[in-house]
Structure 1
Amino acid sequence: MDITERTAALESFFMCSRTEAEKLNAAMTLVRYHHRDTLAHQGDLGSKLWIVLDGLAQLHIIGVDGQIKLLAAHGPGELFGAFPHERVFIADVTARDKLTVLEVSTSTMADLLKEGTRIGNGLSRILGRQFNAVLDRMAARITLTATGRVYSELLREADEQNKISPTPIIAALALTAQTTRETGSRAINALERRGIIRRNKSGLEILSRSMLENLIV
């Protein structure tokens, strides 16, 4: 991704002017991570922010039962890290598959927000969307069955053509849905048997979105 593409992405994410996007880009560093690379460890003192350009970053925490739990996940256009000031990370932050981010120090971001009103407005919209996503996940955890959460995650990961590429890793999908790998595998197999989804070389395709939506209970 070149400078022009990065600037255009920031302009879209923050809904700011090209000049403001260029200022953001100049203050940030492009960093690429591979699958399972760690961006931060639980207990570290954080002083950076990351904006996702491509891929997915996951925040994992150890539950009271000693099992790894997914606290949150951040995709393109989302922001995570230490803000509005330095803070101790409450979770490990790792890359799922390949992850491309723009990295900026917390203090630099704070200075940019003082200089650009529209950058601040854009940041508030980004955080607002992420807050709503967290509430949706909390509601799903309370109201949906484990299988229903797996199906909901499939819909969330699908693109406008109802395709998921590459094929989701069952263990990762189950972790995102806050359930076991066995439950996730059974849920996916049941959909394949009913002809609701289909695997192919490029990934997974949802053949009947309406049928899948009706199974989310």
Structure 2
Amino acid sequence: MSVELDGDRLELFRSVFGCSADVSRSIAAPARERSFAPRTIMLRMDGPRREILVVLMGSARVLSSTADGRVVQLYDLTAGDLVGLAEVGDDAAGEVVAVSQLDAAAYAIGDFMRLAETHAAVGLALSRTLLRHLQRVTARMLARSTLSATGRVYAELDRLGSGDGARGTIRPAPVLTALAERALTTRETASRAVAALERRGIVRRTSEELVILSLRQLRDLIV
């Protein structure tokens, strides 16, 4: 099924590619719409690359497997992100998995490359996406080498929190196992780190959300 561009989707394409409505529709023309249920593997890193996806709605997670078999969560992809370029490298073991119901515009790689040759906006979007992937992976590497395990948990909470600058909210409340995987540590370490924040009144946790009452105090602990 072809991609219908109207309303929010049209604005999303204009934002991703930085172009007019007419050019957005031209870029969308070769794509077909694909849907992925939660927990569906969208892409295997060490498998063949046949298409490039533009996320229209929902979120996905980039996972990488270590030499000892552990699965590491690298970062999340949301509406506007491109999938299928070089999330963790062609030779890496890993996959991109849908976290929620996800809709995407799917392009055959040849079609997308021809668009990049025709529309400068597509080439620029490719460059921005590759740079963003590099920045995300580099940030993970730096955190692993420079921060303590507890510091990585706090850095991940800071990254996940959104708010007015003084406070932040993570909704739904993060699952400790997933938080530990993101921070490259154990569930026990993540549990102790969050409990310490609660005791100090820096965060408040309920079944629905985790509220960061002071982002400044949280950031002071990222060491």
Which TM class, normalised by the smaller chain length? Answer: 0.7 to 0.9
- Pick from 116, 120, 123: which aligns with 1:117? 120
Equivalent residue of 1:3, what SS?
coil
What displacement does 1:89 show? 7.1
Match in the other structure for 1:33: 36
Which residue does the alignment assign to 2:179? 173
> Which structure: greater strand fraction?
1
TM-superposition CA deviations, 1:174-209 (whole Å, max 9, x none): 111111222112211211121111124542211000
* From 197, 200, 215, the counterpart of 1:194: 200
Secondary structure of 2:163's counterpart equals coil
Please tell me whether residue 15 in structure 1 is matched to residue 21 in structure 2: no
Q: 2:54 aligns with which of 48, 51, 54?
A: 51
Question: What is the Cα deviation at residue 71 of structure 1?
Answer: 4.2
Aligned to 2:5: 3
Deviation larger for 145-154 or 15-24: 15-24
Separation in 2, partners of 1:13, 1:148: 33
Aligned with 2:29: secondary structure? helix
Cα RMSD, aligned residues only: 2.4
Query: 2:189 is matched with which residue: 177, 183, 186?
Result: 183
TM-score normalised by structure 2 residue count: 0.84
C-alpha distance in 2, partners of 1:27/1:110? 11
Once the two structures are TM-superposed, the CA of residue 167 in structure 1 deviates from its matched residue by 1.2
CA distance in 1, matches of 2:137, 2:46: 22
Match of 1:143 among 141, 146, 154: 146
Deviation at 1:139, TM superposition (A): 0.9
Contact 2:153 2:179 in 1 (8 A): yes
Matched, 1:96 2:99: yes
Q: CA deviation at 1:210?
A: 0.2
> Partner of 1:101: helix, strand, or coil?
strand
Normalised by the size of structure 1, how large is the TM-score? 0.86
Aligned-residue offset at 1:72: 4.3
Whole-angstrom distance in 1 between the partners of 2:198 and 2:38: 27
> Residue 47 of structure 1: CA displacement?
1.0
Question: How far has the Cα of 1:80 moved from its partner?
Answer: 2.3
**Count of residues paired in the alignment:** 214
Match of 1:61 in 2: 64
Structure 1 residue aligned with 2:214: 208
Distance 1:30 1:177 in 2: 34
What residue ranges of structure 2 are gaps of 5+ in the alignment? none
- Please tell me whether the aligned partners of residues 64 and 93 of structure 2 are also in contact (alpha carbons under 8 angstroms): yes
Q: CA deviation at 1:116?
A: 0.4
